[in-house]
Amino acid sequence: MADAMDVDAPPQPPTVVAGAPVPEAPPAAPLTKKQKQARTLAARPWVEKYRPASLDELVAHKEIVGVLRRLIKNDKLPHTLLYGPPGTGKTSTILAAAKDMYGQGYKNMTLELNASDDRGIDVVRNEIKEFAGTRRLFSSGIKLIVLDEADMMTNDAQFALRRIIEKYTANCRFCLICNYANKIIPALQSRCTKFRFSPLDPEQVRGRVEHIIQEEKVNINRDAIEALLKMGRGDMRRVLNVLQSAAVAYPQEITFESLFLVTGNPVPKHIDAVFQSLLNDSFNDARKTLHDMCTLKGYALPDVLTLLNERVLDTQLPRRMKAHLLAKLADLEYRCAAATSEKLQLSALVGAFVAARALAPAEA
Ligand SMILES: Nc1ncnc2c1ncn2[C@@H]1O[C@H](COP(=O)(O)OP(=O)(O)OP(=O)(O)O)[C@@H](O)[C@H]1O
Ligand SMILES: [Mg+2]
């Protein structure tokens, strides 16, 4: 029985039985190496698939790109420190610069270490030294060592790096990348030229996103594109990841609502309803509305707090009431981050609104 099911069993000559259904077509020929490669490429996450291949493809940070381009052109690339929030193109920029500098052979000339590699003091001493110290056949010139997520390096490793940077300056350039520059020891900071990557402007993200939408033939309506850009808050990685998940989950059409469903972010109209209830209903009713929404829709309280904060800021409310609510929302967010019971914080949130109402008449 098992043999009969074995797909690798040698093919038997077909037995033709009168009236029997026509045998199915033989299984498709195995994929060639090229086809397999094409499939793997197509299956890559879009953040990788659409990582800029050259400095020209980078949107935003035109000044930084311009400066880097000039430095590369004059063979004067200094040690650099790229810092700024996630998904703003730091890693992409230095990889694109490496490709522009070295062309096809850029991998031989670049050593890239990130947080997934062990970067204790031994790695700094050995791996970097080995790469920096060896000369490669058929290739000459300055090598590039990229230390991504450098803020995760131990202090000892950072101290060790100080000496290494100086020792190998003749044939290596170091590029440190991190989210927080202040986590890099001052001695290293002073050895590098710093470039700050600010969050991307939604308008800068728009062009790239629309290009990807076209390439991938994504069906998405206008409202959803606007919401997607807003949701990204300057982080292009987040935008592309949300777009890809939504494209898989809603192949017919990505709408404004489906975008929120796929990310688990609260739908704006649900927040509006809760906000109105918190401002007008009795304590018990408002608590029930909020509780039902959080449990039925699966919203996390910190996300609700962030959006309520926006509503409070955008709504015309008496000054004292607004100030009280903003302070309370910030306190609640802090408490949620300290992993306190969400149930208690939820009641406290309703309490804050009910107490704030008492402040309204005093102003009038
Ligand atoms: N300026 C940009 N131009 C074009 N694409 C970008 C840009 N910034 C980010 N991206 C896109 O977002 C993805 C993530 O960018 P990248 O890895 O460079 O971010 P990062 O700044 O290094 O973030 P992190 O601090 O989390 O490492 C890239 O693969 C690319 O597709
Ligand atoms: Mg990065």
pLDDT tens digits, one per residue of 80-108: 999 999 999 999 999 999 998 888 888 88
* pTM score above 0.85: no
CB 232 within 8 A of CB 202: yes
Integer distance in angstroms from the first to the last C-alpha of the chain? 86
Tell me the average pLDDT across 8-26.
Answer: 48
As a dihedral over the C-alpha atoms of residue 56, residue 60, residue 66, residue 68, rounded to 10 degrees, the angle is -90
pLDDT tens sequence across 141-192:
788 999 998 888 888 888 888 888 888 888 889 999 999 999 999 999 999 9
Pairwise pLDDT comparison (17 vs 255), residue with the higher score: 255
pLDDT attached to residue 118: 64
Give dist(CA 79, CA 76) in Å, integer: 10
pLDDT computed for residue 12 by the predictor: 45
Residue 2 has pLDDT above 50, yes or no: no
**307 alpha carbon – ligand 2 mean position (Å):** 28
- Taking the C-alpha atoms of residue 297 and residue 271, their distance in angstroms, rounded to an integer, is 11
Mutation choice for ligand 1 from 46, 80, 88, CB with most ligand atoms inside 8 A = 88
Lowest model confidence (mean pLDDT) among 99-113, 129-143, 342-356: 129-143
Q: How far apart are CA 290 and CA 275, in angstroms?
A: 9
For residues 219 and 252, is the Cβ–Cβ distance under 8 A? yes
- Read off the amino acid at residue 213: I
Residue 248, CA distances (Å) to 232, 263, 304 in order = 18, 13, 26
Q: For residue 115, what pLDDT band results from cuts at 50, 70 and 90?
A: low
Instruction: For residue range 299-322, list pLDDT tens digits in order.
Output: 989 999 999 999 999 999 999 999
Confidence label for 136 from pLDDT (cuts 50, 70 and 90) = low
What is the layout of strands, in order, in the sheet containing 110-113?
110-113, 143-147, 172-178, 80-83, 193-196
- Predicted confidence at residue 220, as pLDDT, reads 93
Sign of CA dihedral 151, 156, 157, 159: positive
Query: Using alpha carbons only, how large is the chain's radius of gyration in Å?
Result: 28
Ligand 1 neighbours (beta carbon < 6 A): 47, 50-52, 58-61, 86-92, 179, 197, 208, 236-237, 240
The residue contributing the CA closest to ligand 1 atom 26 is 86
Question: Which atom of ligand 1 is found nearest the CA of 236?
Answer: 12
Mode of pairing for the β-strands spanning 172-178 and 110-113? unpaired
Domains and CATH numbers, the chain: 48-196 (3.40.50.300), 202-263 (1.10.8.60), 268-363 (1.20.272.10)
Residue 11: predicted pLDDT: 43
